[in-house]
Structure 1
Amino acid sequence: MEHQHEHESPDPHDHHAFDRDYWEEHWAPKARRNMQGDVPVHPYVEEETRDLEPATALDAGCGTGSEAIWLARQGWQVTGADISTSALATAHNREREAGLDDRLTWVETDLTTWDPGLRWDLVVTNYAHPATTQLAFYQRIAGWVVPGGTVLIVGHLDAQDDAAVGTHEHPREAMVTLSDIAALFAAPGWTLQTARENVRRVTAPDGSETVLHDVIVRARHAGEELRSTRDAGR
């Protein structure tokens, strides 16, 4: 479960299940072509974690491991979890090439049903598209943050404008609004530290450029439970 690094151009009005079969079909051809070693880390993980003391981290929907490996290089003890066997195989190969075996653990799992049995100082998710709604997924992974820890969410911005959807090149159900994510962290015990939108250009391995409209939310957990998505929508 992760973002489409290659940034193909799906019809934003098509329905996507985002289940195990979907992600395996997405990642397997890329793993066979060995394309994923060229995937750059997106800029937000560095910007939003540079002031944090490295400890334990979860990359929820890690795909081929770009952000997880970057965090490990900064001294974090990282768990990367994803639903795709092919993506994790590539991530594991990249970890070994980087010599970071002692700092990374990979877990193949469906994050919408997984019970990890522990919490982390930092939970990040980067363009992950679950089989549930985006907000329910964000609420779920925020529950895996220790008191005093941080959650960092990077998603595809929903401009709620059909003309704009085509520029995102992502299905409607994979996109979210800044206000909806921020509302999740309005409960006592959560401090919203970053809530912004950004537009950037990325270059794919084939040289093509894509304009990405991103939403970035970072919040600190002080011990209270996250409010429900139902309450957040009021």
Structure 2
Amino acid sequence: MTTRSGGDDDAHAPLSITDIADLCRSVVQLVEVDGAAITVMSGTTRELVYATDAVSQYLDELQFTTGQGPCVDAFHRGRTVFVADLDSEAEEHWPGFAADASDGGAAALFAFPLRGGNTVFGVLELYRASVGELSDEFAAVAQLTADAAAISLLEAFAPGLGAGQSLGDASDDSPLGDHRTRPYVNLAVGMITVQMRVSPTEALARLRAAAYSARRPVDDIAREVVERKVRFSTDDTASDSTTKGQPS
């Protein structure tokens, strides 16, 4: 972690994205895992703050696309989720996620909620390339890392959020706006809502389904919607309405 020196103001300065990266890299070494990622979430948004490697980034994208996985469960249930053997434990619970996660290089996954008061607003996720439990000692270290990351993110990126709000509710002019990893998704959801005359929740589900079917990142499809290269239509059937884009 970055060390600061100086007066009292420096001692209490909020951490930056660089410091979050340091936290992730440190926990990888301390608890003997292969990668880590920190994601902030709300009901309809998910922003990757930092990932230590390509596999961690892929796992985050895969969970956003499928709406399944340990991060999703940790966020919604507000408790840690440990999967020591992805192949044997996860296929039944996360059928859209487990096989692709395993093929992507993960064999074990451990997710820790990030909390602001009573509100869960994100997740620290760790993965191993080999199966194995996370010891109680390592789990305690990872939890301390998640707690430190939560405090740092709230102080740095959303100091004005009220009770019951999540980091995903931060305004576009907050520092978080400079680090958004999926800038097109919200715009695309709004456009799909109008095009298909459905709720935003349903629009996001359709967008995710399109990305999963096409084996492409959600933001790629979202960008094409925003650029009017793809259009979601109520005239399309339920099975292909999200994959058959029509120029506007």
TM-score bucket of the superposed structures, by smaller chain: under 0.3
TM-score (norm 1): 0.27
| Greater Rg by CA | 2
Higher strand share: 1
| Bigger RCO (CA 8 Å, 6+ sep) | 1
Higher helix share: 2
